Structure 1
Amino acid sequence: MRRRPVRAGGGAGGMAVVAVLALLVAVVAVLGMNTGYMKLSAPDVLRTLAGKGSPQQHLILFDFRLPRITVALLVGAGFAVSGCVLQSLARNALAEPATLGITAGAGLAVILFISYFPAVTAAPVYVLPALALGGAAAAAALIYLLAYRKGEGAAPTRLILSGIALTAGINAVQIVWALKLNPQNYAFVATWIAGKIWGGGWPFVWALLPWAGVLLPLIFLKARVLNALNLGDAAASGIGVAVGRERLLLMGAAVALAGACVAVSGGIGFVGLIAPHLARRLVGPRHQILLPASALTGSLLLLAADTIGRWIMQPAEIPAGVVVAVIGAPYFLYLLARAKA
C-alpha cells in the first residue's frame, strides 16, 4: 500500500493553518457563549461583553459561561501539548497522558483530597494543581519502573501497556473509594470520572493559569530540542543537546501540565492523543509549528465537545469527556491496529 507523504508544514503554509485554527477556536467560543439552558443570542452576547447587558445576562455570561470556556481552552491546549511532547519523547503514536496513566494518577490524588475538603473554598482550589502534579508524577515514575528492563531501558510498547494496566487499576481504586463516600461526594466523583469540566468558576481559571502560563511557553521554547530528539539520542547528542537533562525537563513539564489540567477538568482522555495527530497531519512534524497547532487543535476539540455536551440534551448535560471518547476511542483503536509491536 502506498504511503502518503508527510507534509513539511513549515513557513507560510503552517502559519496559515495555525491562523485558521485560531479563527475556528474563536468561532466555537462565541457559539459556547450562546449555548446553554438560558439562551443568549449573538447580539445579547455582544451587548453584555460591552457592558450593556441586563444583570441576568451579565451573570450568565461572566460568572458561568466565560470561565468555563476559558478552562476548556486552557485544558484542551494543556492536554494536547502534553500529549505531543510525550509522543515525541516515547517515539510512540499511542503515548498521551491518559494512556500513560498520568491522568489517572493525578485524578486519584484530586479525588482523595476532595473527599475530605470541599473544593468550593479558595484554598483547596489553588492547592489542587500541586496535588495533581504529585499524583501524576508518582504514576509516571511507577509506569517507568514497571516498563524498565536492565540493558534495554523502558521500551515504548512496554510504557503504553504498563500505563493502560495502571490506569485500569487506579480506576478500580477510584470506584471502590467512591462507594464509601456520602451521596453528594459520590455524585461528584462519578461526574469527575465521566470527564465533566467541573471547575467552571474564575477561581479555577486563576488556579490553572499560572501553570499553563509557565509550562506552555517553556515547552514551546524547547521546540528545537524536540526536533533534535526525534532524530535519535545519538544524533541529538552529536549536535550538542544534553539528551538526559532535556528529556527529564520535557517529561517533567508534560507531566506537570497534564496534572494541572486534570485538577480542574476531570478524567478527560483522548485529547492528548487526537490533537497532536491531527495537527501533525495539517502542519507536519516540525515542533515550532506543531506545538502551537496542537494547542489550538486541543482547545478546539475540547471546547467543541463541551459545547455539544451542553446543547444536545438540554437541560441535562453530557460530560465533555464522553463526547471526546466517542471520537477518541475508535481513533485509538485505529492507531493501535497500525502500531508495530
Structure 2
Amino acid sequence: MTAETSLHEVEKQGLHPAWMALALLLGSGALMALGAGLGSSGWEGWGDQGDPLAWQIVRDIRLPRTLGAWLAGALLGLAGAVAQGVFRNPLADPYLLGSASGASLGVALAMAALGASPFALQGLLRLGITGAAFAGAAGAALLTLVLARGAHDTLRLLLAGVVVGVVLGAAASMVLLLNPAIMQAMQSFMLGSTAFVGWSACALMAAVLVAVLLAAWSLARVLDGLALGEATAQSLGLPLAPLRLLLIALLALATGTAVAQCGLIAFVGLAAPHLARSLVRAMHRWLLLLSAGMGAALLLGADLLARWLLAPQELPVGVLTAVLGGSYLLWLMHRRNLREAA
C-alpha cells in the first residue's frame, strides 16, 4: 500500500470532519453571543442600545474581548496542530521552541524600560509592549533553530527548545528581580488575560490567523507524510528540510501573535488538537482547521467561565485553562493506563 493510500484510509474513519466544523462554528457563535452579554456582575444582556454608555461598553469592551479570545484560541490551536505534526509528538505544544520564555523576557525588558503594565498602556507604548512580546517569542524560536542547526533533526530541535526556554526564563526572572516594581504588572502577562484586547488587536490576530491557516493548509501534505514517518514523508518527493523550516516559522508567528496580545495561556494549544483527533480521524487539511476551531471554542469558553465564576471579580483565563487542561491530560493518561492494563 502506497503512502497516499495510507493517508486516505485514515481520513475515511470516524465522524465526517465537515459535521464537526459545523458544530464548532455553531458553538462558537453561541459562545460569542454569551460573551457580548456577560458583564462584570454576571449576565447583563446586550445592554440598552438607547443608552450610549451601555452600548459603548458592549461595542468597545465586550465584543472585542470576546472576538479576541476566539482568535487567540484559534491561533494557539492551529499552532499546536502544526507543532504536533512537525515534531510527530502528541505532547508537543506551541511553546515548545521556547517562545513563551522569549515573550516573557521581551515583555519584562520592555516593562523595565517603560515602567508600566503591559495591558494598561495605550498607543505607541502598548504597541511597544506587544512588539516586545512578539519579538521575544520569534527571537526564541530563531535561537532554537540556530542551536539545533536547522530543522532537519527533530530530537535536537526539541532539546534546543528546552534549553532556550530554561535560559530565557531565567533571564526574565533576573530582570524581575532587578526591577521589583514591575512584578505585579508582569503577573497579568504571565497568567494570561483577554480583558484588554481591542479592535486593533482583533484585526491583527485575524489577519495572522488567515495567513497562517492558508499557508499551513497548503503544507498539509507534508504534515500527513511526517505523521507516517520520515521515510514516508521522503517518499512523497517533498523537500522536507525547507518545508519543515517554513512550518516552524508559521508556528512561531501564530504563537507569538497570540502571546503578544493575550499573554501566556497554557494548554489550549496542546489540548485542542487532542480533542479534535479524538472526535474525528482526518488528514491535516481538516485537522488544522478543526484544531483552530477547537482552540477558539476552548479559550472563549474558558474566558466566559473566568468572568462568571467569581463575578464581579474575575480569574485570569490562563490559570483556568491550566487547571482544565491539566485535568484533561491527567484523565487521558489514566484512561491510557487502564487500557494498557486491560
TM-score w.r.t. structure 2 length?
A: 0.82
- The answer for the alignment partner of 2:36 in structure 1 is 33
SS at match of 1:78: helix
Does 1:153 pair with 2:162?
no
CA deviations over 1:279-327 (Å, ceiling 9, x no partner): 1111224112111111111011111111111111111110110110001
Bigger mean CA deviation after superposition, 121-130 or 307-316: 121-130
- Conserved? CA contact 2:42–2:311, under 8 Å: no
| Separation in 2, partners of 1:334, 1:108 | 33
Deviations 1:132-151, CA, capped at 9 Å, x for gaps: 343223323444566679xx
1:244 aligns with 2:241: yes
1:272 equivalent to 2:275? Answer no
Corresponding position: 1:281 with 2:258: no
Residue 325 of structure 2 aligns with an amino acid whose one-letter code is G
The residue that corresponds to 2:136 in the other structure is 135
1:324 match: secondary structure: helix
Change (3 A) 1:266 1:146: same
Shift of the 161–245 alpha-carbon distance from structure 1 to 2, 3 Å rule, reads closer
1:105-254 map, 5 Å: 105-117=102-114, 120-126=121-127, 130-143=131-144, 153-155=153-155, 160=158, 163-164=161-162, 166-181=164-179, 183=181, 185-254=182-251
Cα offset, 1:9, TM superposition:
6.1
Q: What is the aligned counterpart of 2:76 among 79, 85, 99?
A: 79
Structure 1, unpaired ranges of 5+: 1-5
Cα deviation code 1:243-297 (max 9, x no counterpart): 1111111110111110111001111111110001101111224112111111111
TM alignment of 1:47-126, pairs within 5 A: 52-117=49-114, 120-126=121-127
Alignment partner of 1:70: what SS? helix
Is the 8 Å Cα contact of residues 94 and 335 (structure 1) preserved in structure 2? no
Aligned-partner Cα distance in 2 for 1:16–1:56: 40
Contact 1:225 1:241 in 2 (8 A): yes
Task: Please say if 1:13 is aligned against 2:16.
Answer: yes
* In structure 2, distance between residues paired with 1:110 and 1:139: 13
For residues 19 and 116 of structure 1, the distance between their equivalents in structure 2, rounded to whole angstroms, comes to: 46
RMSD in angstroms over aligned alpha carbons?
3.1
Q: For residues 94-152 of structure 1, what are the alpha-carbon distances to aligned partners after superposition, in whole Å with 9 as ceiling and x for unaligned?
A: 11123442222123213322332455232344455554343223323444566679xx9
Deviations 1:16-54 (A, max 9, x none): 111001111111111111212256654x46xx6xxx442
Structure 2 counterpart of 1:24: 27
Given candidates 326, 332, 341, the residue that maps to 2:323 is 326
How far apart in 2 are the matches of 1:191 and 1:16?
A: 37
Task: State whether residues 87 and 95 of structure 1, in contact with CA within 8 Å, keep that contact through their aligned partners in structure 2.
Answer: yes
Question: What SS class does the counterpart of residue 71 from structure 1 fall into?
Answer: helix
CA distance in 1: counterparts of 2:44 and 2:306, whole angstroms: 19
d(CA) in 1 for partners of 2:172 and 2:195?
17
Sort the Cα spacing of 1:198 and 1:38 in 2 relative to 1 into closer, same or farther, 3 A: closer
CA contact (8 A) 2:14 2:279 kept: no
What's the CA shift for 1:175? 3.7
Aligned-pair identity in percent equals 33
Any conservation in 2 of the 1:8–1:284 contact (CA below 8 Å)?
A: yes
Q: Which amino acid aligns with 2:323?
A: V
Aligned-pair CA distance for 1:226: 1.8
C-alpha contact (below 8 Å) 1:126/1:204 kept by paired residues: no
> 1:328 Cα deviation (Å)?
1.6
Asked if the contact 1:125–1:207 (Cα under 8 Å) also holds between the matched residues in 2, the reply is no
User: Using the alignment, how far apart are the partners of 1:115 and 1:121 within structure 2?
Assistant: 17
Is there any run of 5+ residues in structure 2 with no aligned partner, and where? 1-8, 338-342
In 1, are the aligned partners of 2:102 and 2:169 still within 8 Å (CA)? no
Q: In structure 1, the residue corresponding to 2:39 is in which secondary structure?
A: coil
